[in-house]
Structure 1
Amino acid sequence: MLTAALVCGIGLLPWLSRNDPALTVLKARSADRDPTPEALRAVRDQLGLSDGPLPLLGRWLGGLLQGDAGRSWVSGSQVLPSVTQALGISLMLMAGALAVAVCTAVTVCARTLWLGSRRRLGTRRPGGTGSAVLAALPEFLVASVLASVISVQLGWLPALGWYGPEWMVLPSIALGLPAGAVLGRMLDDLLPGAFAEPWALAAAARGLPPRSMARKAVRRCVPGLLPNLGLFVVGLTGGAVAVEQIFDIPGLGQLTLRAALAQDLPVLQTGTLTLVLLAAVAGALARHAARLLTGPSLRDGALHSLHRPAPPARHVLPLLYGAMLAAVIGLGLPRDPLALDPAARLQAPSFTHVSGTDALGRDILARIAHGALSTLGIALAVSAAALVTGVLLGLLPRLSGPVVDTVNAVPPVLAGLLVTGVAGSGPWTPALAVAVGAWTPLAAHTSALLQQERATLHLTATRALGATDWYLLTRELLPAVLPPVVRHALLRLPGIALNLAALGFLGLGAQPPSPDWGLLLAENQPYVERAPWAVIAPAAVLALLGALAVTAAGGAHLPRLRRFRCEKGTRSPDEAAPDEPLAPPGTGSPSETSQKGPGYVVTSPGGRGTGAV
């Protein structure tokens, strides 16, 4: 139903946007041709636009059932062969980007894997500032730097076109680095809990090699990440519009974007339907792989919780990054972000212009500071709404699963066009467009963690002792699921800020000379070789925002609502390091002692009874 509604909405897009579809198609065919009434009438008669959107949609669906997706309104060529060719190119690019993302994720988690496999992790939680900075870098900026440095200056690899394996190296790196940083950070968040499970204690006692322990720990955590990995696959296939444009790759994302801008409905509808089907297949495969990896543990409730109470947060780094961000904004606010100085075009950083100037002579620091007020405010509001929506829908996986697959298949630009068609253009249009899909990775993450947490031993024991569903939700499930999801949401905050401004640059929200951060990057990108500071400055602020978000969330957790009852001189199970002995029998709470091993006497929630686990 949702897929049908999406396809119908796309079919109504030219009429929703309140533009004459014949005029848009005529401009796309020949920009120099005058839109005379005769020319517009000829386009309407040729395409059947006079019949209205519903007959057009019916004819397209009827032909699709017979294997014919129609002809392009702009080029006149068959749609299905062009979409199939573009899909093949995007799948090849996705495979390369996925390989880069996996290598990046392993690199991000290397320190945790090394410490955990040698039983040196303790209760410390690794930092992750570097991965946050990498995840905050926009893909098109990474692509521009790679193309200008590695291809143009060094001449090592080709940059433009798609003619063989050599041409997919640079775009794969540009797409895979940010995605791998996000995946690596999510995996790094689960690894400490995996190394603290009983199997790790037994493996270390038997002398299992560290490499084997690290491999088993990764396998234990992968099921919780597979749904998001499926979302990344679809995002890398259809959402790589900017990278495909920079490297001139005729992929599905670029094809869909051009069709959306030209209102070429047969191409746009077929491309979107292909993305939706790809999302459904990727989501089904991810869920099936997660069930295979966890085996009968989900059915028997034999898993152990990966949730470990976070150690006290280190307040130095968040304060340092926050002070640096505040200093940048404070230094730039007194300056005029719109003042033009043609004599100071593309000036290097100096005492007068700390971050240099752009191609129009405007002070970059002033534009960064003034753009922070609007960009950060809207990004925080969208992130908060996405977090609440993702968690609530993630608690209902049967309802949210198909919705996540469908919504994630819609590229942000197409979502922006649909929102603009319904609500009109305005300052909040980019926020609505980004919010449409910003909740999907958080809902998938919540559902995956919730599925594993519901199959844990301690939850089974607590339920058997008479705990109600509300007690289990508020005191067991949410304290275990919310902290990693909150950290995941904060890790995506810089990307949301960039997407908001990027949609504004495409004419769907704020317009130049607005000092939005994404506009700064897009406007100064053509001058990256001549004036690299014009791009480095806003990119550095985005990276600083990412580092601040992740370090501030490093100790995010929900405290348990009950307290451990330990004998004098003992420590609670969660306070003990993985290689230390646990508290003696007769101490602890039902949820904690039941997963630590046999011989512990537990008290039911509310003191309704006791039992031995």
Structure 2
Amino acid sequence: MRAAAGAAKGLAIRNGLVLLWRGALVAVLLCGIGLLPWLSRTDPALTVLKARSAERDPTPEVLQAIRDELGLDAGPLRLLGRWLGRLLLHGDAGTSWVSGAEVLPAFVQGLGASLLLMAGALVVAALTVAAVCARTLWLGARHRLVGRRAGGGAAVLAALPEFLTASVLATVVGVQLGWLPALGWYGPQWMVLPALALGLPTGAVLGRMLDDLLPGAFAEPWALAAAARGVPGRSIARQAVRRTVPGVLPNLGVFVVGLTGGSVAVEQVFDIPGLGRFTLDAAIAQDLPVLQTGTLALILLAATAGGLTRLAARLLLGSALRDGALQSLHRPTPSTPRVLPLVYGGLLLGVIGLGLLHDPLAVDTSARLQAPSLAHPFGTDALGRDVLARVGHGALRTLAVACAVSVAALMVGVLLGLLPRLSSPLVDTVNAVPPVLAGLLAAGIAGSTPWTPALAVAAVAWSPLAAHTSALLRQERATTHLTATRALGAGRWYLLRYELLPAILPPVVRHALLRLPGIALALAALGFLGLGTQPPSPEWGLLLAENQPYAERAPWAVLAPACVLALLGALAVTAAGGVRWPRPWPRGTAHAATRRVPAGIPEDVT
């Protein structure tokens, strides 16, 4: 009785500390948003005046009148406290500093558009997940699973971030072919292209993660026993999906928030009045009441999505987590030579090498917007500059920064993911900050420099990897081999080194490689929106931003860098399939018994 009471008291204390930690993080984020106008290097009154009337002279009298009107002299903390008091006590989010209109009606309209778009994107994502995993499910149900290979199309699709997909869909389907409207938000037809742009990459990444887990589920004893008893393959496949979905659910919560506040680039391309643009425009104009309302909504959405996905994972696994009755879905398998990464890597290096032979800044006004030719294989842009040269020279900086950010995100994500009580509230809070808003915060604190996008993306890119690590850690702790090894006297460091890390690191590294093109495009999206590197630099984000207005007349200027980015994605995704733990399981541990391969099952799926 005393032991049970002590355990319950300890659990209550830990839950209280987690709630306190979560509340402190929300308070810090809100204070950071509230202090944004004062952290930036511009006078908030001057920014509001420019947003209201750019032609009016910023005389000291006019600026002081704006300060008096908005109460800026009272200080940021008093303004933040006043806003929270009105919102919590009266449900009043205040009025916009720029337009003078009530914040809540515009916020509700933007939230409604974003939620509707999110619902459509989730439908597209679910269909994409089913398509990516169809081959593995079909082979597993017929006991002919021989590997973890997805098609090349799935590899490219998994690496296409929303911004790139939106640009290609708007250019090809909306402008060139004219099949669907590409601009505005007036009805169901206008939702198709944005939902595809958001749902296809999301579903492909989730599908690749699920497809990575399914072979381990089909090789578990329950699946082998069910097959031996003649259970239909469809039933086994359904239970395999149920077994593997909990490992992916935390990232689904991350994507749900990204499909609302993080879809600002897609909303910008398709001119959608959603929550992302609502928050971005307020941040640029330093419209504090609007910015705080949008940020608070994103925080609540992130916390709700994270809590629901963790609850769903527990319900799907049932008491197996508590009783330590799971099998490991991740066992070391021999790495086999792969040809596709070499092919994609050779093509990418060839394109970059050819581009480096030419001057990316050479202007030739007589050769403006020329189609691809022998002299200009990727065509020319609006100033007559060679697109291939700009792609090649821009690759050096874009890829170097993307790789550095990816490595940093992987290290931070794994370290924090191994401490789930610390990282779970932090993931929910950081996930509420889209990269664009993080870029504005970084620009406000450190100034707008070429490294601002890297700081902003690095600040949020680790959260999906931490969520994935925590989900895998939770399941590995409940495995039978870990319980047996612990019973033999293994300590924490031994379990971490020989049992947990070999199971967790390979799938998380593969996940990080899947996100490498996404990080490159997140940097590009910030450049597209005017943050970070400025013209005439040939950075890939600027290439897309510069050539987007000419997409109808010269689609090659947009499609050429888009194809190179897709090539990068194919390289990253196919290379991810070869990531394996380099050392075998230690002999003499309880895991050695589980390495015996059942008869008739190929070793590379066990």
Task: Give the aligned residue type for 2:600.
Answer: D
Distance 1:438 1:472, change over 3 A: same
Structure 1 CA distance, aligned partners of 2:264 and 2:576? Answer: 31
Superposed CA RMSD = 2.1
Structure 2 CA distance, aligned partners of 1:147 and 1:500? Answer: 20
Say whether 1:84 aligns with 2:105. no
Of residues 61, 64, 69 in structure 1, which corresponds to 2:93?
A: 69
Say whether 1:460 aligns with 2:483. yes
- Structure 1 residues 268-277 or 315-324, which shifts more? 315-324
Report percent identity of matched pairs: 75
5+ long unaligned stretches in structure 2: 1-23
Structure 1 CA distance, aligned partners of 2:336 and 2:300? Answer: 43
Per the alignment, residue 603 of structure 1 pairs with none
Distance 1:556 1:497, change over 3 A: same
How far residue 577 of structure 1 moved from its aligned partner, in angstroms, is 6.3
Per the alignment, residue 213 of structure 2 pairs with 190
Structure 1 CA distance, aligned partners of 2:31 and 2:239? Answer: 46
Task: Give the aligned residue type for 2:39.
Answer: L
Of residues 321, 324, 330 in structure 1, which corresponds to 2:344?
A: 321
Deviations 1:18-69 (A, max 9, x none): 1011111111112233323332222222111222222222211221222111
Matched-pair contact (CA < 8 Å) for 2:132–2:150:
no
Per the alignment, residue 126 of structure 2 pairs with 102
How far residue 11 of structure 1 moved from its aligned partner, in angstroms, is 1.1
How far residue 561 of structure 1 moved from its aligned partner, in angstroms, is 4.8
Say whether 1:3 aligns with 2:26. yes
Of residues 168, 172, 186 in structure 2, which corresponds to 1:163?
A: 186
Say whether 1:353 aligns with 2:373. no
Q: Secondary structure at the match of 1:109?
A: helix
Task: Give the aligned residue type for 1:579.
Answer: G
Say whether 1:579 aligns with 2:566. no
Task: Give the aligned residue type for 2:374.
Answer: F
Per the alignment, residue 46 of structure 2 pairs with 23
Matched-pair contact (CA < 8 Å) for 2:168–2:559:
no
Structure 2 CA distance, aligned partners of 1:170 and 1:29? Answer: 33
How far residue 206 of structure 1 moved from its aligned partner, in angstroms, is 2.3
TM-score, normalised to structure 2, is 0.92
TM-score, normalised to structure 1, is 0.91
Per the alignment, residue 391 of structure 1 pairs with 414
Of residues 194, 200, 203 in structure 2, which corresponds to 1:180?
A: 203
How far residue 575 of structure 1 moved from its aligned partner, in angstroms, is 6.9
Deviations 1:287-336 (A, max 9, x none): 00000000000000001110132342323222222111111111111210
How far residue 132 of structure 1 moved from its aligned partner, in angstroms, is 2.8
Deviations 1:217-258 (A, max 9, x none): 111110001100000000001011121122222111110011
How far residue 456 of structure 1 moved from its aligned partner, in angstroms, is 0.6
How does 1:186-585 map onto structure 2 within 5 Å? 186-562=209-585, 574=595, 576=597, 579-580=600-601
Residue-pair matches, total: 579
Q: Secondary structure at the match of 2:529?
A: helix
Task: Give the aligned residue type for 1:488.
Answer: H
Matched-pair contact (CA < 8 Å) for 1:505–1:511:
no
Of residues 159, 166, 173 in structure 2, which corresponds to 1:136?
A: 159
Per the alignment, residue 3 of structure 2 pairs with none
Per the alignment, residue 589 of structure 1 pairs with none
Matched-pair contact (CA < 8 Å) for 1:201–1:579:
no
How far residue 153 of structure 1 moved from its aligned partner, in angstroms, is 5.2
How far residue 436 of structure 1 moved from its aligned partner, in angstroms, is 0.5
Deviations 1:170-210 (A, max 9, x none): 21111101111110110111011011011111221222222
Structure 2 CA distance, aligned partners of 1:163 and 1:530? Answer: 26
Task: Give the aligned residue type for 1:576.
Answer: V
Q: Secondary structure at the match of 1:212?
A: helix
Matched-pair contact (CA < 8 Å) for 2:128–2:204:
yes
Structure 1 CA distance, aligned partners of 2:133 and 2:571? Answer: 19
How far residue 148 of structure 1 moved from its aligned partner, in angstroms, is 4.3
How far residue 160 of structure 1 moved from its aligned partner, in angstroms, is 3.1
Structure 2 CA distance, aligned partners of 1:565 and 1:394? Answer: 29
Task: Give the aligned residue type for 2:565.
Answer: L
5+ long unaligned stretches in structure 1: 583-591, 597-613
Structure 2 CA distance, aligned partners of 1:562 and 1:180? Answer: 33
Q: Which has the higher contact order (CA 8 A, sep 6+)?
A: 2
